[in-house]
Structure 1
C-alpha cells in the first residue's frame, strides 16, 4: 500500500491577525487491516517510536498533571509533545518544545474503518516560521505513514 493522498494549504477558519500564516497539512494511508488491530499497534501515545523511522525513542512523562511524550530523534534532536485529547482510535496533541521551525503546532492522529480495512490520518495545523516548514511537516508525516504501512505489510 502506498500513501494515497495528501492535502495541504492554508487553514481559512480560525485565522487571525496574530496568526496570518496558519498552515494545515494532512496525509493518510489505507491499510487492508481492521482499524482496531492497527490502532492497537500505532495508537499508544509512545508507540510512535515503534513505527516512525525518525524517532529513536519516546518516553511518557507527566508534567503539571498532563501527559507528555519526550521524543528523541535519530539525529539526537528532542521534541516534547503534550496529549490534548484521546478518544477511541484518535488522539490530539501539541508540540511544546521542538527544533522544527513552527509555532502553535496542533495535530490529530486517527484511524478509521475504511473500505474493508482502515485509513490512518495525520493532520497538523501550525504557524510556519520558515518557508520550508510545510514541506518539513509533510516529510515527517510521509515517513511516519510509510513506516506504518511497512509495519503491516503482509
Structure 2
C-alpha cells in the first residue's frame, strides 16, 4: 500500500511539469450573429469563396490561385497575405470548411537567442467552419475556428504571441466580419 501511495504522490508532483512542457494547447473561437435575411440570401454571400473581401473589413483583395485556394491581401501596413484552402463546401447544409495554408511574415525578432517570426495572424494550424441556419424568420451565421498560437515552443512566450493574443485576434476577425455581413445584408 505504501508503494502505491508513493507512486501517486510522485505522479501528482510530476504531472504539472509534464503538462507545462508540451507547448501550446489547441484554442477555439466561436461567434454567431443573427441576420434578418433568408438563409439562401446569406449563404449566397458567405459561400462565395472568392468574394470574402466584399464583407470582411480587413481584406483588401482576393486572388483565386485555384478553384479551392485563395490568397487574401490585407489592408494593414505592408499588405500582408494569407493563403487559405477550401476543404469542403456543402450547399445543402450551408456550411464550408477551410484552413490557412500560409501567411506572410510581418517581422522577425530574436527571442531566447532564436529568430522568431511574427505572422499575419498569431495562429498556427488554423481550421475554420462557417455555417448558415434558418432562425426566427432570418438566419444565424456561425463562424468557428480551432488553432494553436503561432509560437509553438514552451513558455516564456514573446509579446503578442500568447494563446490569449491568438484568441483575441481571431475573435476580432470573426466579430468584424459577422457584424459587417449583417450590416450589408440587412440594408
TM-score range, shorter chain: 0.7 to 0.9
Question: Aligned residues, how many?
Answer: 135
Of 69, 73, 88, which aligns to 1:85?
A: 88
Q: Give me the TM-score of the superposition, normalised by structure 2.
A: 0.68
Of 173, 178, 183, which aligns to 1:145?
A: 178
Distance in structure 2 (CA, Å) of the matches to 1:18 and 1:94: 24
Aligned to 1:70: 71
Comparing both structures, which one devotes a greater share of its residues to strand? 1
Q: Which structure would you say has the larger Rg?
A: 2
Alignment of 1:92-111 (within 5 A): 92-98=97-103, 99-111=120-132
Deviates more, 1:139-148 or 1:36-45: 36-45
Q: Give me the TM-score of the superposition, normalised by structure 1.
A: 0.82
**Stretches of 4+ moved more than 2 A in 1?**
17-20
Distance in structure 2 (CA, Å) of the matches to 1:32 and 1:96: 33
Note the residue ranges of structure 2 that are not aligned, 5 or more in a row: 1-20, 104-119, 151-160
- Residue 30 of structure 1 deviates from its aligned partner by 0.4
Note the residue ranges of structure 1 that are not aligned, 5 or more in a row: 1-16
Comparing both structures, which one devotes a greater share of its residues to helix? 2
Q: Aligned to 2:68, what secondary structure does the other structure show? A: strand
CA contact (8 A) 1:27 1:142 kept: yes
Over the aligned positions, Cα root-mean-square deviation in angstroms equals 1.6
